């Protein structure tokens, strides 16, 4: 029969993923010195969700999780507001802020891996009331993104003539996405992996097409060169236009925090989270900065068919690049890719939003029924609840699609800055807790470079944008509509935190006794034990089933 197949023995008994120890334990057989003596790993919090995400899933999600319809369609809004130079400046500045934030999140998520991630860290190291507000702020952000992406679906579908109306497409896809989300976390991971591969390949092909178009190698408009950087110029509205793009950039970058949320369902977060975090810089530089650079070569920011407040059928600058060059087949292909990215965007939004709601419910910060999980680890009630907010997109049937999209992006963009500021603050407090409790930094699987400067840069930068990204609404004439879009999330956050603190009489976290145990896992030291006999063989059908549903 040959050599017996080694079986790795790893027993997990989980309990509630609250910040309070709940009596459960994670049991790992560890052989520290090779003597054969087995030790118990530290107590961990319970996770009713499956830990099935692999390293390749985490890395591809880090690269392509937020490259969705907003990237291909919504970029028209940023281009018309900021101009070719303004959009590059805004995305560059916010990209640096994102990088610093992700270093903070990566350090904490690799050390303490729980579903809900930074909302849990905020409760442990700052105040449960602020954790409550940050958790719901993040959930609201994803409610908005779900509606925005369903709205994008309606916009893109208007490119082709069809007997099925916009609302019909939205309803059909609403059911499809919900059904797919019910399959399990491994199905989500595999879908994100392959959809991201498709997106990356297409973006690379698009970059090549832009080079060919601008040199006149293809298309009927002749060589273009850099003329759109000169005429109509690099900026659409000066400094004010650049500031309008900052919140849009935050909205487009949002979703990167998914790495922290997925850490609780990763097979080995100590290994996978650092790898995923390190890819953030390259994603910002290559996909966003590179993408907008090439778009600016082919499409001027004053093109009349770009997304605007009066456009019922908003257009993608990626599509316009082909239509301006007289390449309608390329435009058809572009719209087809956008449809594919909708699957990825809504798939990811449903995943993150539902996991955030589950964590809030398990921690007593949301109704208990939102924490219900089936035998496959699927939070079905949270998924249904989150997906209901997709119906907000039906507003585009009676009002301007561009206006609806702008409202959703502005609100979610401000919520993103609030989330990033919370992550940075939690990281600063986390480091202080390690110091007070005598835990060496050598125990961290991943250490954020440039600490404390990176963490303080993220905190100060995000706080600045929370309060100043909407200053253009105060210019004459004062815009009530823009004011509410820019600042409505600030009083909502304060009211949620203040109300929870008054009702539950929570206390500011004592870092000398803050919980640094629950959620820690030690996969790298798990002993592999040789067992006589072969591993049980699974049938082909069972293998396929496990692959699909996790």
According to DSSP, residue 44 is labeled -
HEC string of 453-483 equals: HHHHHHHHHHHHHHHHCCHHHHCCCCCHHHH
Q: b vs e for 174-187, b when ≥16 Cβ sit within 10 Å of the residue's Cβ? A: beebbebbbbbbbb
Judge whether 76 lies within some domain.
Answer: yes
Domain that holds residue 266: 55-504
φ, ψ at 291 (rounded to 5°): -60, -45
Q: How far is CA 69 from CA 117, 152, 350, in A?
A: 26, 6, 15
Q: Which residues contact 100 (CB under 8 A, 6 or more apart)?
A: 424, 450, 454, 455, 457, 458, 461
Q: How far is CA 98 from CA 339, 432, 467, in A?
A: 27, 22, 17
HEC string of 373-402 equals: CCCCCCCHHHHHHHHHHHHHHHHHHCCCHH
Residue by residue, pLDDT tens for the chain (550 residues) are 444 433 333 333 333 333 343 333 343 434 444 433 333 333 334 455 555 555 565 566 656 656 766 677 767 778 888 888 888 998 899 889 989 998 999 899 888 887 667 888 999 999 999 999 999 998 888 888 888 778 777 667 766 676 677 777 788 888 888 888 787 767 777 777 888 888 888 888 888 988 888 888 887 777 877 888 888 888 888 888 888 888 778 877 877 777 776 666 666 777 777 877 877 777 777 888 888 888 888 888 888 777 544 443 356 788 888 888 888 787 778 777 878 787 777 887 888 888 888 888 888 888 999 888 887 778 888 889 988 888 877 766 555 555 665 676 677 778 888 999 999 999 999 999 999 999 999 999 889 988 999 999 999 999 998 888 777 777 767 778 778 888 888 999 999 999 999 999 999 999 999 999 887 765 443 333 333 344 445 555 455 444 433 3
- Following DSSP, what letter does each residue of 399-457 receive, concatenated? S-HHHHHHHHHHHHHHHHHHHHHHHHHHHHHHHHHHHHTT--GGG-SS--TTTTHHHHH
| Token couple for 235 | 């900026």
φ, ψ at 29 (rounded to 5°): -80, 120
Judge whether 181 lies within some domain.
Answer: yes
CATH number for the domain including 473? 1.20.1740.10
Judge whether 228 lies within some domain.
Answer: yes
What distance in Å separates the CA atoms of residue 109 and residue 53, rounded to the nearest whole number? 15
* Element at 25 (helix H, strand E): strand 25-27
What distance in Å separates the CA atoms of residue 154 and residue 395, rounded to the nearest whole number? 11
Bridge partners (DSSP) of residue 362 are none
Please check whether residue 68 is in contact with residue 251, taking contact to mean a CB–CB distance below 8 angstroms. no
Judge whether 459 lies within some domain.
Answer: yes
Domain count, the chain: 1
Judge whether 6 lies within some domain.
Answer: no
Task: Give the max Cα distance, the chain.
Answer: 83
Q: How far is CA 376 from CA 71, 185, 413, 530, 549, in A?
A: 33, 9, 33, 29, 8
Judge whether 9 lies within some domain.
Answer: no
| Token couple for 387 | 């997906």
Torsion angle of alpha carbons 321, 327, 330, 334, nearest 10°?
A: 40
Judge whether 258 lies within some domain.
Answer: yes
What distance in Å separates the CA atoms of residue 184 and residue 174, rounded to the nearest whole number? 17
Judge whether 48 lies within some domain.
Answer: no
Please check whether residue 44 is in contact with residue 57, taking contact to mean a CB–CB distance below 8 angstroms. no
């Amino acid at each position: 029969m040959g050599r017996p197949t080694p079986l790795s023995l790893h027993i997990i008994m989980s309990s509630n993923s609250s910040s309070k120890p709940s009596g459960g334990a994670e049991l790992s057989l560890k052989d520290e010195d090779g003597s054969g003596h087995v030790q118990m790993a530290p107590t961990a919090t319970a996770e009713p969700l499956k830990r099935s995400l692999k390293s390749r899933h985490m890395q591809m999600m880090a690269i392509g999780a937020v490259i969705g319809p907003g990237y291909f369609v919504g970029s028209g809004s940023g281009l018309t507001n900021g101009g070719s130079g303004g959009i590059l400046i805004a995305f560059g500045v916010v990209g640096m802020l994102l990088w610093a934030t992700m270093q903070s999140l990566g350090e904490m998520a690799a050390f303490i891996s729980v579903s809900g991630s930074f909302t849990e860290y905020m409760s442990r190291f700052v105040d449960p009331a602020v954790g409550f507000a940050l958790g719901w702020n993040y959930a609201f952000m994803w409610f908005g993104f779900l509606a925005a992406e369903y709205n994008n679906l309606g916009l893109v579908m208007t490119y082709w003539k069809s007997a099925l109306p916009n609302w019909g497409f939205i309803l059909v896809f609403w059911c499809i996405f919900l059904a797919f989300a019910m399959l399990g976390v491994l199905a989500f991971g595999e879908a994100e992996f392959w959809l991201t591969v498709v997106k990356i390949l297409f973006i690379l092909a698009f970059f090549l097409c832009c080079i060919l178009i601008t040199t006149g190698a293809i298309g009927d408009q002749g060589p273009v060169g850099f003329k759109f950087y000169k005429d109509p110029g690099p900026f659409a509205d000066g400094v004010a236009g650049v500031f309008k793009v900052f919140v849009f950039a935050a909205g487009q970058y949002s979703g990167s925090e998914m790495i922290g949320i997925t850490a609780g369902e990763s097979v080995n977060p100590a290994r996978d989270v650092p790898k995923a975090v390190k890819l953030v810089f390259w994603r910002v530089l290559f996909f966003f900065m590179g993408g907008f650079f090439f778009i600016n070569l082919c499409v001027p920011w004053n093109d009349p068919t770009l997304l605007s407040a009066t456009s019922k059928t908003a257009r993608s600058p990626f599509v316009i690049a082909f239509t301006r060059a007289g390449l309608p087949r390329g435009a058809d292909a572009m719209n087809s890719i956008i449809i594919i990215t909708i699957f990825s965007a809504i798939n990811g939004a449903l995943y993150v939003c539902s996991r955030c709601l589950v964590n809030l419910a398990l921690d007593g910060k949301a109704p208990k029924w939102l924490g219900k999980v089936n035998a496959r680890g699927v939070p079905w009630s949270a998924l249904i609840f989150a997906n209901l907010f997709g119906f907000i997109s039906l507003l585009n049937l009676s009002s301007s699609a561009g206006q609806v999209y702008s409202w959703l992006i502005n609100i979610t963009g401000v919520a993103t800055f609030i989330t990033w500021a919370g992550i940075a603050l939690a990281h600063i407090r986390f480091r202080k807790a390690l110091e007070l409790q005598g835990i060496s930094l050598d125990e961290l699987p991943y250490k954020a470079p440039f600490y404390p400067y990176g963490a303080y840069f993220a905190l100060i930068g995000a706080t600045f944008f929370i309060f100043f990204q909407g200053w253009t609404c105060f210019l004459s004439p004062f815009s009530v509509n823009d004011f509410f879009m820019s600042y409505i999330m600030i009083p909502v956050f304060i009211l949620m935190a203040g109300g929870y603190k008054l009702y539950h009489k929570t206390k500011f976290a004592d870092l000398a006794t803050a919980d640094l145990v629950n959620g820690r896992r030690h996969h790298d030291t798990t002993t592999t034990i040789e067992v006589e006999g072969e591993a049980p063989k699974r049938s082909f059908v069972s293998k396929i089933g496990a692959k699909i549903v996790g």
